[in-house]
Copies of this chain bind each other. A is one copy, B any other.
Amino acid sequence: MSDGDDGQPGIGRVEAFSDGVIAIIITIMVLELKAPDEPGLPQLWRLWPTFLAYVLSFAYVGIYWVNHHRLLSHARRVTNGLVWFNLILLFALSLVPFSTAYLGGQHFSRDATLVYLVSMLLPALAYVPLQQIVRTSGTQSEAAGRYHRRAVRKGIVASLIYLAGLPLTFVSPWPGIACAALVAFLWFLPKSPIDAWFEG
């Protein structure tokens, strides 16, 4: 497709479509949390691995929604690259419900934790070209520049933590899961320690 850009309003529709896809991704994960057929609270308690995997992934996809929302607020026009790499990012995110179901269903086994950490890395990789596109074709203000530097830095730190989780999972799955939880926690803090570290 080389039909050129459609101007600013197009970004609204890219956002709306992405919002729709991310909203569905984040919500269909709860379908894995199947209500037990038998009565009794012990039967309910057995769902904890599925529930914990759901909490982690909800936080993860929520973080991506926030990041995506901030990134696109700096975009100025809809280019082919933006549309396609945005679709690739959505595709990578759409695998999270699968790896979440696998992680919960396999009770945080080593294999499932490895698959899960890889599925955390894929959207991080897909985010890089999208960010590059917005950086070069989007708003060029100083605030945008600072935003991009911080976002790139955070993306690298998050990817390194996920990567560190892979060998740790061979020792035990829990340090691997802790890596995924750590990223969510770092993002949740009002003043990111990653920024504080770099900007002193």
Copies of this chain, whole number: 4
* A58–B20 CA distance with the chains assembled, in angstroms: 15
Smallest CB separation, A145 vs chain B (Å): 12
CB-CB under 8 A from A94, the residues of chain B are 26-27, 30, 58
A9 within 8 A of B: yes
CB-CB under 8 A from A142, the residues of chain B are none
CB-CB under 8 A from A150, the residues of chain B are 3
CB-CB under 8 A from A44, the residues of chain B are 102, 111, 115
Closest chain B residue, CB of each to CB of A74: B6
> In the complex, are the beta carbons of A25 and B27 less than 8 A apart?
yes
> In the complex, are the beta carbons of A23 and B26 less than 8 A apart?
no
Which 8 pairs between the two chains have the least Cβ-Cβ distance?
A: A20-B23, A35-B102, A35-B101, A24-B27, A62-B87, A6-B73, A21-B23, A17-B19
Closest chain B residue, CB of each to CB of A86: B62
Smallest CB separation, A51 vs chain B (Å): 9
> In the complex, are the beta carbons of A2 and B81 less than 8 A apart?
no
Smallest CB separation, A32 vs chain B (Å): 8
Kindly identify which residue among B15, B33, B65 contacts A98, using a CB–CB cutoff of 8 Å: B33
> In the complex, are the beta carbons of A106 and B17 less than 8 A apart?
no
* A151–B2 CA distance with the chains assembled, in angstroms: 10
Interface-side segment among A122-130, A161-169, A171-179, A185-193: A185-193
9 cross-chain CB contacts under 8 A: A6-B70, A13-B69, A17-B19, A23-B23, A24-B27, A30-B94, A35-B98, A35-B101, A39-B109
> In the complex, are the beta carbons of B30 and A95 less than 8 A apart?
yes
